């Protein structure tokens, strides 16, 4: 079939076969299908969507375009997780050690941050000596030896997705749920895990702004994973305000460590608890009744913290990092409080706005080439529902440029909204699927 006919078929609302999608996608990767034809098909998908079968075909075609990491030589049940991205989302740094300390193997490829959302790799690389550049053999050896390994994504994983996403980004076709689901799962399925937990964010600071879209995306990804023979679960979590209190790379590492010590913020502790429980259930290490107690014991006993230290040391970091992190993580040169200008209750915190403040301070990237400043960021003293008096501290800015700090103090203040009456905080977890 001609590429023209494949496009026409989708434009008319009909389903493409696997061979048709493969001809189109691989032709585009090899250069025989031009940008304008792939764009035409993407726009047809944007308006007519993909069926569950088409989603699965596209995912596996992109998956098979590059390198796959075979974990079959590793004993035990292998689990992975994915977050759709948020502000202050350092969940991986806690749940990885928790589930690994409970007998699962946590092997994950993670990405870097771009725009207002932070990346797990950037957070980990704020630890002195820590390397995320693990080749496949080292990645698997470490996962087998200590039960946890996290590495940066390579260009060899799902290169078809990378090329198609770049085109989607400039042709206004990013926001189609079938394409989002296929893109995410093509990279998740590249690692041969037995189970996957998806943390799908919803709210002002998330890609999926409303709950219905977040739920549709979660169900689409679950369907793709199950069609690929994996056990998949999802948690739909809140991103109307930043998660936890710390936003910024080394600040988030500190908050993760304190959470592993049992001293984390309530919303962050809850989400880590729920996600860890679901991963243990997916991995067959617990059921609905036993999972909460197993997770709690992993933290209370210190097993999860010990696993974190072993993980950090295995990837080049200090052996005593969780005990002496203040010795290794230098503070920002400028630390200043942002004060409330009125009395009331915090009724909202624009998570995306906070993320953009941190990006401009240097904690994130406007472009992929930008260099991260690991120590800058924002500490939220007040969250939604908290009472505040005029002159009281709302947040603390950590920066290394006086000019940037002065500019961003005002921007940070504007991310807060207030009410004269009491406010109920949003639920941290909206739904478990």
Handedness of CA 360, 362, 366, 370 (dihedral sign): positive
Active-site residue, from 55, 78, 162, 187: 187
Per the annotation, the verdict on 168 as an active-site residue is yes
CB 349 within 8 A of CB 400: no
Q: Which of 108, 116, 140, 168 is catalytic?
A: 168
Residue 430 appears among annotated catalytic residues: no
Q: Which residues pair with 81 in a beta bridge?
A: 197
Which residues, other chains included, contact 159 with Cβ-Cβ below 8 Å and sequence gap of 6+? Answer: 29, 65, 66
The span from the CA of 84 to the CA of 82, in Å, is 7
392: tokens are 């009281």
Asked if residue 348 lies in contact with residue 416, where contact means CB atoms within 8 angstroms, the answer is yes
CB 390 within 8 A of CB 348: no
- 161 catalytic? Reply is yes
Note if 373 is an active site residue: no
Q: Of 10, 55, 78, 82, which is the active-site residue? A: 82
Residue of 303, 313, 258, 244 lying closest to 98 (CA atoms): 303
Q: Which of 161, 194, 267, 350 is catalytic?
A: 161
Is there a contact between 423 and 385 (Cβ–Cβ < 8 Å)? yes
Catalytic (active site) residue 187 = yes
Which residue among 65, 178, 182, 183 is the active-site one?
183
Write the DSSP assignment of 315-339 as a string of letters.
TTS-TTTTTSHHHHSPPPSEEEEEE
Q: Measured between alpha carbons, how far is 245 from 264 in angstroms, rounded to an integer? A: 9
Write out the two tokens for 310.
């072993």
Catalytically annotated residues:
82, 161, 168, 183, 187
């Amino acid at each position: 079939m001609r590429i023209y006919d494949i496009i026409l078929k989708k434009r008319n609302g009909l389903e493409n076969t696997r061979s048709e999608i493969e001809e189109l996608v691989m032709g585009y990767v090899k250069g025989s299908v031009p940008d304008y034809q792939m764009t035409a098909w993407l726009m047809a998908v944007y308006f007519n969507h993909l069926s569950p079968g088409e989603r699965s075909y596209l995912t596996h075609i992109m998956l098979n375009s590059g390198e796959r990491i075979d974990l079959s030589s590793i004993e035990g049940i292998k689990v992975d997780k994915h977050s759709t991205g948020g502000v202050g989302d350092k969940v991986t740094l806690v749940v990885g050690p928790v589930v690994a300390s409970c007998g699962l193997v946590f092997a994950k490829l993670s990405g870097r941050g771009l725009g207002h959302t932070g990346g797990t790799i950037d957070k980990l690389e704020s630890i002195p000596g820590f390397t995320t550049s693990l080749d496949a053999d080292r990645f698997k050896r470490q996962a087998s030896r200590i039960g946890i390994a996290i590495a940066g994504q390579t260009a060899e994983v799902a290169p078809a997705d990378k090329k198609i996403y770049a085109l989607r980004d400039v042709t206004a076709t990013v926001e189609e749920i079938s394409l989002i689901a296929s893109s995410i799962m093509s990279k998740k399925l590249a690692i041969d895990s037995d189970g996957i937990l998806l943390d799908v964010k919803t709210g002002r600071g998330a890609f999926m702004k409303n709950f219905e879209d977040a739920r549709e995306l979660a169900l689409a990804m679950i369907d793709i994973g199950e069609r690929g023979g994996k056990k998949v679960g999802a948690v739909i979590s809140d991103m109307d305000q930043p998660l936890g209190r710390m936003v910024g790379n080394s600040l988030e590492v500190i908050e993760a460590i304190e959470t592993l010590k049992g001293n984390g913020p309530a919303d962050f502790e809850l989400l880590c608890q729920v996600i860890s429980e679901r991963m243990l259930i997916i991995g067959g290490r617990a059921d609905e009744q036993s999972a909460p107690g197993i997770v709690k014991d992993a933290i209370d006993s210190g097993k999860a913290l010990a696993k974190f230290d072993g993980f950090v040391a295995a990837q080049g970091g200090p052996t005593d990092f969780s005990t002496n992190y203040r010795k290794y993580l230098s503070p920002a040169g400028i630390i200043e409080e942002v004060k409330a200008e009125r009395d009331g209750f915090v009724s909202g915190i624009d998570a995306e706005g906070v993320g953009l403040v941190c990006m401009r301070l240097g904690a994130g990237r406007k472009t992929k080439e930008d260099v991260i400043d690991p120590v800058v960021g924002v500490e939220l003293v007040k969250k939604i529902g908290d009472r505040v008096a005029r002159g009281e501290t709302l947040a603390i800015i950590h920066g290394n440029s006086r000019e940037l700090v002065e500019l961003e103090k005002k921007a940070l203040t504007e991310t807060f909204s207030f009410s004269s009456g009491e406010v109920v905080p949003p639920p941290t977890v909206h739904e478990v699927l």
